[in-house]
Amino acid sequence: MPAYKAPLRDMRFLMNEVFDYPTHYANLPGGEEATPDLVDAILDECAKYCEEVLAPINQSGDEEGCHFADGVVTTPKGFKDAYDQYVAGGWQGLNYPAEYGGQGLPMSMGLLKAEMMGTANWSFTMYPGLSLGCMNTIMLHGDAEQKATYMPPLVEGRWLGTMCLTEPQCGTDLGQVKTKAEAQADGSYKLYGTKIFISAGDHDLSENIVHIVLARLPDAPKGTRGISLFIVPKYNVNADGSLGERNPVNVGSIEHKMGIRASATCVLNFDGANAYLIGPANKGLECMFTFMNTARIGTAVQGVCHAEQSFQGALPYAKDRRSMRALSGKKDTDHAADSLIHHGDVRRMLLTQKAVAEGGRAMVYFASQLADNMSVGIINGDIETYDYWDDKLGFYTPILKGVLTELGLEAANLGMQVFGGHGYIKEHGMEQYARDARIATLYEGTTGIQALDLLGRKVLLGSRGKVVREFTAEIAKFCRDNVANKAMRPFVWELTKIVTQWNYLTVRIMLQARKDRDLVGTAANDFLMYSGYAMLAYFWAKMAAVAFDKLENGGNDEPAFYEAKIQTAEFYFDRLLPRAKGHADSMLKPTASVMQMKPEHFNFG
């Protein structure tokens, strides 16, 4: 089984050298506590926990999977112990307010933590991860009593939470939700209905589980405007906070999945469960979507995780395993064959993984700063601030979620490919990464949904192209700032072309879509992928600029790190960015080539 080593050097490069987190935190209301020393200590401690506790139970967790018997879900061996350590370490409350028992650090610290935990063991990370959505919902939409009741044990991690959205007949299209709430005399409700795909829906890790459930009030309007949010605890909570009787939220079954097998995915039957309305009636979807951007960026992180994880597995193998001779002549003359890493196509695969992991990480670290700013708006109840930053974040979210999960899956598969036939064998652990990575393009909105969100909602309807103009203006400024630097010229040249092309494509689609609405659907995936490659190019150029500066202006004792950054940037621009050309070309093609075939003509017997 490949070992996990947290990429601390790279994380600190991004925090301290590229995105200047120290200044960001110093200026962030409530961020002052995140001093460089504290941040450093937390990263080290988190890395240790991930490397020593979570990574060793990743493969065994996949092998064993979760158990379901007599209505009870049991997690694999070692998960409960690892979770106890997680709670004892105070990790769940890292970025939650001190008033609920948290450490009150900025939201970004939670995303940094999530990457390390997720790389070490994504299945495990799902349990505390899903609880974030629950905590965020209660923190933002709960009344004082609900906050007082639920937040402290959730922030402590003594309780965990879930989000119950999907039903058998609908996932994306939540307007079809059927689960019903019946009013009780005391102002509470009883819920009836079935929810599926509930991650961490049941388990043996925490004392209680707090479900946030989408359901319909009696006489609610049809469709999306008749959906409300409810709190449904697994165990009823007494007035003093102690646990009462079991609430009838019954586990129907757990799913048998391709991967993330140690994460329990439950069918939950609400058989008249006690439920408490949270937030305004019939506004459940709006409330739920408050934190959608951060939830989706949390899933984008998964792409980075599996790219990093698979890279860390493939690299030592590529150095150890010997096969054939390098094309340019023998490299390891004292052996019968050269290491795989001397072969161009193996390098292509490794460098693709590296470019995705490090480039994706840069995108996440950038977006995390926006999330910090947005989060301040929430904590201070300052809706204007929240809206401003949530809007900003909204442009990045589908790109990060859509593209990083797709590329993370590709990277995980490349890691298997480096192993040749051995990659297909379970014991090496590489195929698990590919199976685990596969879910990321499906849940939290499929790639297709991200693509429509980006092109339809964010770019066209939401801003008439303004979000693209703004981001490309930032790229253009970067180009002006760096054009005098000869070393940066190749990057600047490519980025300049992107500035023009991205806006051109946006305008063309905007104009054509007026006449042909189908264009949004037929161009969406290409536009998403194009945007992802363009954005990655910008962040790779940004990292290269920092690296050139460090090499030139000295003061560092590890030029190799910066040289490797520049070399990876060159690889990205030469070998991955060209894919954007194909997407640019395809997206403007007539909608007919996608839309004209009649449904009954897709197949002939």
What residues between 425 and 454 interact with a second copy by CB under 8 A?
425-427, 431, 434-435, 438-439, 441-443, 446-448, 451-452
Is residue 299 at the binding interface for a second copy, with CB under 8 A as the rule? Answer: no
Smallest gap from residue 591 Cβ to a second copy (A):
7
Is residue 72 at the binding interface for a second copy, with CB under 8 A as the rule? Answer: no
Radius of gyration of the chain, Cα coordinates, nearest whole angstrom: 24
Q: Which stretch binds a second copy (CB under 8 A): 79-87, 100-108, 495-503, 563-571?
A: 563-571
Q: How far apart (Å, rounded) are the C-alpha atoms in residues 356 and 541?
A: 14
For a second copy, the binding residue among 278, 297, 416, 535 (CB under 8 A) is: 416
Report the residue number, 10 or 390, with the smaller CB distance to a second copy. Answer: 10
Q: Where are the alpha helices (DSSP H) in 447-556?
A: 447-452, 466-482, 489-515, 518-553
User: Sign of dihedral through CA atoms 408, 455, 378, 147?
Assistant: negative
For a second copy, the binding residue among 350, 467, 534, 544 (CB under 8 A) is: 350
Smallest gap from residue 248 Cβ to a second copy (A):
25
Is residue 601 at the binding interface for a second copy, with CB under 8 A as the rule? Answer: yes
Contact criterion met (CB below 8 Å) for 199 and 212: no
Q: Judged by CB under 8 A, how many residues of this single chain contact a second copy?
A: 114
Interactions with a second copy, residue window 510-529 (CB under 8 A): 516-518, 520-522, 524-525
Smallest gap from residue 554 Cβ to a second copy (A):
19
Which residues sit opposite 276 in a β-bridge?
A: 231
Interactions with a second copy, residue window 178-197 (CB under 8 A): 197
**3-class secondary structure, 128:** helix
Q: Residue 449: CA atoms inside 13 Å, Cβ hemisphere, count? A: 14
**3-class secondary structure, 560:** helix
Q: How far apart (Å, rounded) are the C-alpha atoms in residues 41 and 199?
A: 31
CA-to-CA separations, 266 to 71, 180, 261, 335, in angstroms, rounded: 11, 19, 12, 52
Is residue 341 at the binding interface for a second copy, with CB under 8 A as the rule? Answer: yes
Q: How far apart (Å, rounded) are the C-alpha atoms in residues 218 and 291?
A: 26
Q: Cβ-count burial of 93 within 10 angstroms (0-12 exposed, 13-18 middle, 19+ buried)?
A: buried
Is there a catalytic annotation at residue 444? Answer: yes
CA-to-CA separations, 249 to 71, 210, 556, in angstroms, rounded: 10, 11, 58
For a second copy, the binding residue among 345, 387, 470, 474 (CB under 8 A) is: 345
Q: Compose the 301-330 pattern: x for residues touching a second copy by CB under 8 A, - for all others.
A: ----------xx--x---x--xxx-xxxx-
**3-class secondary structure, 189:** strand
For a second copy, the binding residue among 190, 234, 343, 361 (CB under 8 A) is: 343
For a second copy, the binding residue among 172, 238, 380, 500 (CB under 8 A) is: 172
From 444, 474, 552, 563, the catalytic residue: 444
User: Rounded to an integer, what is the distance from CA 88 to the centroid of its chain?
Assistant: 25
For a second copy, the binding residue among 166, 274, 369, 397 (CB under 8 A) is: 166
Smallest gap from residue 229 Cβ to a second copy (A):
21
Contact criterion met (CB below 8 Å) for 318 and 351: no
Smallest gap from residue 319 Cβ to a second copy (A):
6
Q: How far apart (Å, rounded) are the C-alpha atoms in residues 342 and 525?
A: 35
Smallest gap from residue 309 Cβ to a second copy (A):
13
Smallest gap from residue 180 Cβ to a second copy (A):
16
Report the residue number, 34 or 459, with the smaller CB distance to a second copy. Answer: 459
Residues belonging to the active site: 444
